[in-house]
Structure 1
Amino acid sequence: MFSWIKLCIFWPSSVHPSMGLRRHNAANGGSSGGSWVNCFLPLNVAPKHIQLCFSATLDPTRTQASLQAQTLLQMFWVLLMYSFPCEFTTCFSSYQGEASRYIFLNKFRKFLQENASNRGNLTVLCPPEYMVCFLHRLIAALRFFWDGHKVKAPAALGSEEAYVPPQLFYNGKVDYFDLQRLGGLLSHLKKTLKDDLAAKANVLIDPAELQAVTMDDLDEDEESATSAAQRPSATLAIGGALARPGWLSSPTLGRANRFLSTAAVSLMNPRRPLGTLEKVKVRTLSVEQRTEEDIEGSNGNEGLLLGRPPEEPDQPITENSLLEVLDGIVMMYNLSVHQQLGKMVGVSDDVNEYAMALKDTEEKISRCPKRRRDIHEELLKSQKVFSEKLNHLSRRLAWINVTIYSKEKMQDIYWLLRVCIRTIEHGDRTGSLFAFMPEFYLSVAMNSYSALKNYFSPVNSMEELPGYEETLMRLAAILAKHFADSRIVGTDIRDSLMQALASYVCYPHSLRAVERIPEEQRISMMKNLLAPYEQRPWAQTNWILVRLWRGCGFGYRYTRLPHLLKTKPEDASLPSLQKPCPSTLLQRHMADLLHSDCDLAPSFLNSVLNQLNWAFSEFIGMIQEIQQAAERLERNFVDSRQLKVCATCFDLSVSLLRVLEMTVTLAPEIFLDWNRPSSELLLRRLAQLLNQVLNRVTAERNLFDRVVNLRLPGLESVDHYPILVAVTGILVRLPGIPAEERVAERATAVLLADPCFQLRSIQYLLGHAEPAAMAAAATATEKRHFSLSTYTEYISAEELSKVDKMLSHLSEESKQAAATTLPTSEEDLCPICYAHPISAIFRPCSHKSCKACINQHLMNNKDCFFCKATITGVDDFTKPASS
Structure 2
Amino acid sequence: MDGEEIVQRIFGKDTISLEQRNALCNSNTSSPPGSRKSMCLEVAKELIGSQLNEFGPSIDTVGLPPDTREGRIGPPVVRFDIATHSGLFVVGADRLSVNSQSNFSTIRANACLFKGKWQYELQLGSKGVMQVGWATNFCKFSQEIGVGDTANSYAYDGNRQRKWNVSTHKYGEPWLSGDVIGCTIDLNDGILVFYRNGRSLGEAFSNIQLGPGMAYFPSVSLAFTENLVANFGSTPMRYPVEGFLPIQDAPYKDLAKAELLSKWLNHLLELLLDTREGKGQSIGVTSEPMTDEALLLALAHTIIGHLAPLLLSPYITEACLMPFLESLCSNCQPKKGKDKSNRKLHLFLDLLWAFLEDFEIKKCLEHVVTHMLSDFRHVSFVLEYPHQKKTLSLLLCLVDHPQTRHHLLEHVLFDKVRFANFVHVKPLDEGGLAEVVHTSWWDSGKPDPSIDHKKSSYLRACKEIQRAIAEVENLQVQLLKALMNNTDGTATRPSSRKIFLRKFRTFLHENLISSRTMPLLQTPLPITLCCFHRLLVTFRELWAAEVDEQRLFIPTRTFYDGSINYYSIDRLGGVVSHLNKSLREDLVRELGPEHNVVAGTETNSNLQSVDPVSQLGATFLAGPSMNLSRSFEGPANLMIPVLARLLTQQQTSSGPLLVERITGVPPRLTEKNTAGPADPFASLIELLDGLILFYHVAAHKQIAKVSTLRESMHEYTTALESTRSRQDAVQQAASSSTAVEESNIDEILRELNQTCDVFTTKLSEQARHMAWVRAAVYSSEKQSQLAWLFRVVLTTMMEASKTDGLFSFVPEFYLETLVELCTALRTFLHPTAPIEDVKNADQLLMEMGKFLANHFADTRIVHANSKDTLIQSLATFVCSPNTLQALERCPVDSRMAMVRSLLRPYENRAWAQSNWVLVRIWQGCGFAFRYHKSPHLLRKMGPKLLHSDSNLISQSIKPCPSKLYQSHVKEIMLGDEPLATSFLNSLLNQLNWAFSEFIGMLQEIQNVSSRPERVFIESRQLKICATCFDLTLALLRVLEMVASVASPIFTDSSRVSADSLLARLCQLLCQVLNRVSSQAGCFQHVVTLEIPDLETVDHFPILAAVVGILLALLNKELKETNVKEDPIPKVSLALLLEPSFQLESLNFVLGNFHKDSKLRNKIFSFRNYTDDVNDKEIDSVQQMISFLTALSSRVTHAEVSEEQLCTICYAYPISATFKPCNHQSCRSCIAHHLMNSRDCFFCKTPIERVLSSEGEVLHELLQKDRLPVKAN
2:1218–2:1247 CA contact under 8 A, matched in 1: yes
Question: Hey, what's the Cα distance between the residues in 2 that align with 1:450 and 1:578?
Answer: 16
Partner residue of 2:834 out of 457, 461, 485? 461
1:843–1:871 CA contact under 8 A, matched in 2: yes
Q: How do residues 35-434 of structure 1 correspond to structure 2 at under 5 angstroms?
A: 37=391, 39=395, 41=399, 43-44=401-402, 64-85=468-489, 97-118=493-514, 122-149=519-546, 157-158=549-550, 161-202=551-592, 209-218=600-609, 221=612, 236-242=639-645, 287-290=671-674, 296=679, 319-351=681-713, 393-434=766-807
Deviation at 1:648, TM superposition (A): 1.1
Q: Which residue of 1 aligns with 2:43?
A: none
Deviation digits for residues 226-249 of structure 1 (CA, Å, limit 9, x no counterpart): 79967787995415233689xxxx
Q: 1:244 to 1:659 in 2, by over 3 A?
A: closer
1:124–1:238 CA contact under 8 A, matched in 2: no
Deviation digits for residues 304-346 of structure 1 (CA, Å, limit 9, x no counterpart): xxxxxxxxxxxxxx72211111111101001111111111222
Partner residue of 1:847 out of 1223, 1235, 1244? 1223
Structure 1 counterpart SS, 2:643: coil
Q: How do residues 360-759 of structure 1 correspond to structure 2 at under 5 angstroms?
A: 393-566=766-939, 576-737=955-1116, 745-759=1129-1143
Structure 2 counterpart SS, 1:218: coil
Structure 2 counterpart SS, 1:714: helix
Deviation digits for residues 456-512 of structure 1 (CA, Å, limit 9, x no counterpart): 122210111101000000110111121111111111111111111111101111001
Deviation at 1:683, TM superposition (A): 0.8
Structure 2 counterpart SS, 1:557: coil
Which letter maps to 2:487?
S
Q: Normalised by the size of structure 2, how large is the TM-score?
A: 0.56
Q: Normalised by the size of structure 1, how large is the TM-score?
A: 0.79
Name whichever of 511-520 and 574-583 sits farther off: 574-583
Which letter maps to 2:1229?
C
Partner residue of 2:1211 out of 824, 835, 838? 835
Name whichever of 547-556 and 78-87 sits farther off: 78-87
Is 1:23 equivalent to 2:373 in the alignment?
A: yes
Question: Hey, what's the Cα distance between the residues in 1 that align with 2:1071 and 2:665?
Answer: 73
Structure 1 counterpart SS, 2:1116: coil
Q: Which residue of 1 aligns with 2:1179?
A: 801
Deviation digits for residues 131-171 of structure 1 (CA, Å, limit 9, x no counterpart): 11111111111111212235xxxxx523xx32111110011
Q: 1:522 to 1:243 in 2, by over 3 A?
A: closer
Question: Hey, what's the Cα distance between the residues in 2 that align with 1:333 and 1:75?
Answer: 21
Deviation at 1:624, TM superposition (A): 1.1
1:697–1:704 CA contact under 8 A, matched in 2: yes
Q: 1:206 to 1:644 in 2, by over 3 A?
A: closer
2:717–2:763 CA contact under 8 A, matched in 1: yes
Query: Which structure has the greater CA radius of gyration?
Result: 2
2:493–2:675 CA contact under 8 A, matched in 1: no
Deviation at 1:424, TM superposition (A): 0.4
Deviation digits for residues 5-49 of structure 1 (CA, Å, limit 9, x no counterpart): 99966999xxxxxx9994345999x999848747473742899xx
Structure 2 counterpart SS, 1:734: helix
Name whichever of 215-224 and 137-146 sits farther off: 215-224
Question: Hey, what's the Cα distance between the residues in 2 that align with 1:716 and 1:707?
Answer: 10
Structure 2 counterpart SS, 1:841: strand
Structure 1 counterpart SS, 2:1193: helix
* Amino-acid identity (%): 37
Which letter maps to 1:707?
V
Question: Hey, what's the Cα distance between the residues in 2 that align with 1:797 and 1:354?
Answer: 38
Deviation at 1:221, TM superposition (A): 2.5
Structure 2 counterpart SS, 1:488: coil
Deviation at 1:598, TM superposition (A): 1.9
Q: 1:740 to 1:157 in 2, by over 3 A?
A: farther
- Give structure 2 stretches of 5+ with no counterpart: 1-316, 331-368, 409-421, 426-464, 617-627, 649-660, 735-741, 745-749, 1257-1272
1:228–1:236 CA contact under 8 A, matched in 2: no
Q: 1:761 to 1:85 in 2, by over 3 A?
A: closer
Deviation at 1:63, TM superposition (A): 6.2
Structure 1 counterpart SS, 2:1251: strand
Q: 1:552 to 1:393 in 2, by over 3 A?
A: closer
Question: Hey, what's the Cα distance between the residues in 1 that align with 2:957 and 2:646?
Answer: 53
Question: Hey, what's the Cα distance between the residues in 2 that align with 1:644 and 1:791?
Answer: 27
Structure 2 counterpart SS, 1:622: helix
Structure 2 counterpart SS, 1:599: helix
Deviation at 1:632, TM superposition (A): 2.4
RMSD: 4.3
Deviation digits for residues 73-110 of structure 1 (CA, Å, limit 9, x no counterpart): 101121233324469xxxxxxxx553222222222122
Name whichever of 604-613 and 617-626 sits farther off: 617-626
Compare relative contact order (CA 8 Å, sep 6+) and give the higher one, 1 or 2: 1
Partner residue of 1:874 out of 1216, 1227, 1250? 1250
Question: Hey, what's the Cα distance between the residues in 2 that align with 1:642 and 1:106?
Answer: 50
Name whichever of 686-695 and 737-746 sits farther off: 737-746
Deviation at 1:792, TM superposition (A): 2.8
Question: Hey, what's the Cα distance between the residues in 1 that align with 2:370 and 2:633?
Answer: 29
Question: Hey, what's the Cα distance between the residues in 1 that align with 2:1182 and 2:381?
Answer: 85
Q: 1:404 to 1:9 in 2, by over 3 A?
A: farther
Which letter maps to 1:802?
S
Deviation at 1:589, TM superposition (A): 0.9
Deviation at 1:355, TM superposition (A): 7.6
Question: Hey, what's the Cα distance between the residues in 1 that align with 2:988 and 2:1240?
Answer: 22
Question: Hey, what's the Cα distance between the residues in 1 that align with 2:556 and 2:1044?
Answer: 45
2:1063–2:1134 CA contact under 8 A, matched in 1: yes
Structure 1 counterpart SS, 2:1238: coil
1:643–1:715 CA contact under 8 A, matched in 2: yes
Deviation digits for residues 764-797 of structure 1 (CA, Å, limit 9, x no counterpart): 2222112x53x557xx6xx542222333322233
Which letter maps to 2:1108?
G
Name whichever of 784-793 and 337-346 sits farther off: 784-793
Name whichever of 635-644 and 613-622 sits farther off: 635-644
1:42–1:100 CA contact under 8 A, matched in 2: no
1:44–1:85 CA contact under 8 A, matched in 2: no
Question: Hey, what's the Cα distance between the residues in 1 that align with 2:1130 and 2:702?
Answer: 61
1:672–1:743 CA contact under 8 A, matched in 2: no
Question: Hey, what's the Cα distance between the residues in 1 that align with 2:863 and 2:555?
Answer: 22
2:716–2:759 CA contact under 8 A, matched in 1: yes
Larger helix share, 1 or 2: 1
Question: Hey, what's the Cα distance between the residues in 1 that align with 2:723 and 2:781?
Answer: 39
